[in-house]
Structure 1
Amino acid sequence: MGPIVELEVVPEPRKTVIENLLQFYLYDFTLYLDISADEEGRLPAYPDLHEFWTQPERKFPFLIRANGEPAGFALVERTDDGGKRPSYYMVEFFVLQKFRRRGVGAAAAVMLFDRFQGRWKVTQLKNNEPAQRFWRQIIGVYTTGAYKERTHPFNGHPSQYFES
C-alpha cells in the first residue's frame, strides 16, 4: 500500500514551506534550464510567488503531504474570465525525489483535478521527458485517453488539454 496523500492549502503565514520546496524544484530544473545559484548558494526566487496569496480567488498554493510529512507542492491558477465552465492551469507541480514513483504525485494530481472541475492545461518543458511521461500517463488514465496534446509553436513545450 502506498503512502497516504493529502493536499493542504498553504496560508500566507506558512508560505515559506513553498519557498523552501521551490529551491529543490529549481534544483531539479537545472537539468533543463540555465539556472545558477547566487553567491549565498541559493537559487533564484520564484517570480510573483506572492500572487498566490494576494489573488486567492484565482491562484491556489498547495502543500502535498505523504504520510503527514511535506512531500511537494502544487500551484494552480484559474485562467478563465468567470464563465460557466472554469479553466485551470497547473502552474507548477513538484514531488520530492524520495516520494517519486510511489503514487504520491499521481494521487495529488487526481485530487487537484477532482477538486477543480473544469478545463485543464498542463505544460512541460520540451526537454523534460520524465515530466512528459508522468503527465501523459496520469492524464491518460484520468481521462481514459480523452485529452489533446499540443506543442507550442515557438518554444516547443508540450501541453495537455482535458476536462475534469
Structure 2
Amino acid sequence: MPEISVRRANVADRSVLERLWLMFRHDLSEFRSVLPDSSGGFRDDRLRASFRDPDWAPYLVTSGESPVGMALVRGLNGSVRVLSEFFIVRGARRAGVGLSAAREVLARHPGSWEIAFQDDNAPAARFWRRLAADVSGTAWTEEKRPVPGRDDLPPDVWIRFQS
C-alpha cells in the first residue's frame, strides 16, 4: 500500500477539495441519476458546510504530494458522527488507501458512527461492510432508509457501529 497522509483540511485546501468533490459527484451521479448544473458543477452545499460549520470536519487524503481523496464528517457535536462523503480517486483504489484513510478518519472521532451507501454500487457496498467488520467485528448493524426527496431512487443502506 502506498504511504498516505490524512489531515484536517483548511481554507488553503479548499480548491483541492472542490476538484476532488467534482470527481466524487461525477462517480456518484451513476447511482443518483444526477446531471451537472449549467456551469458543469454539482451541488456542493455539504462541502461548503464542512468548512464553515463547527459540527463538520473536512479531511484531505494525500499520497506524497498528490491529493488522492477526501472525507467529510458531520455530527461532531452530537452523539453520532456521520461519514457524510468519502472519496478516493480511481488511481489509488484497491490498494488499501481507502481502508487506511477511513480508519484514520474514524480514529480521530471515536464513538458511534453511521455511513450511508448505495447497494447498487457493489464496490462501495463491499468496502463499507468490510470497514464496519474490521472496526467493530460483528457489532454493526445495517438498515435501508429512503433517500429524502427522491422517491425515484432505491433506499440508501446505512451501517452503524462504534469506533
Which TM-score tier does this pair reach, normalised by the shorter chain?
0.7 to 0.9
Structure with greater proportional helix content: 2
Name the counterpart of 1:108.
101
Q: Confirm or deny that 1:141 pairs with 2:134.
A: yes
Deviation of 1:94 after TM superposition, in Å, equals: 0.1
Distance, in Å, in 2 between the alignment partners of 1:19 and 1:115 is: 23
Q: TM-score under structure 2 normalisation?
A: 0.87
Name the CA distance, whole Å, in 2 between partners of 1:48 and 1:162.
23
Which blocks of at least 5 consecutive residues in structure 2 are unaligned? 148-153
Paired residue type of 1:53: F
CA distance 1:52–1:153, change in 2 (3 Å): closer
Write the deviation string for residues 77-112 of structure 1: whole angstroms up to 9, x where unpaired: 12654xxxx320000000000000000000011111
Contact preservation (8 Å) 2:80, 2:112: yes
Task: Check conservation: 2:47, 2:72, Cα contact below 8 A.
Answer: no
Question: Under a length normalisation based on structure 1, what TM-score does the superposition of the two structures give?
Answer: 0.87
* Runs of 4+ displaced beyond 6 Å: none
Residue 132 in structure 1 maps to residue 128 in structure 2: no
The residue correspondences of 1:1-164 to structure 2 (distance < 5 A) are 2-40=1-39, 42-56=40-54, 58-78=55-75, 81=78, 86-152=79-145, 156-164=155-163
* Distance of aligned partners of 1:111 and 1:36 in 2 relative to their CA distance in 1, 3 Å threshold: same
Unmatched runs of 5 consecutive residues or more in structure 1: none
Compute the displacement of 1:39 (Å). Answer: 4.9
1:4, 1:66 within 8 Å by CA — same for their partners in 2? yes
SS class of match (1:49): helix
Q: 1:151: Cα distance to partner?
A: 1.1
Paired with 2:29 and 2:67, the residues of 1 have a C-alpha distance of: 22
CA–CA separation in structure 2 for the residues paired with 1:109 and 1:48: 18
What is the letter of the counterpart of residue 148 of structure 1? T
**Partner Cα separation in structure 2 for residue 137 and residue 14 of structure 1:** 30
Q: Secondary structure at the match of 1:31?
A: helix
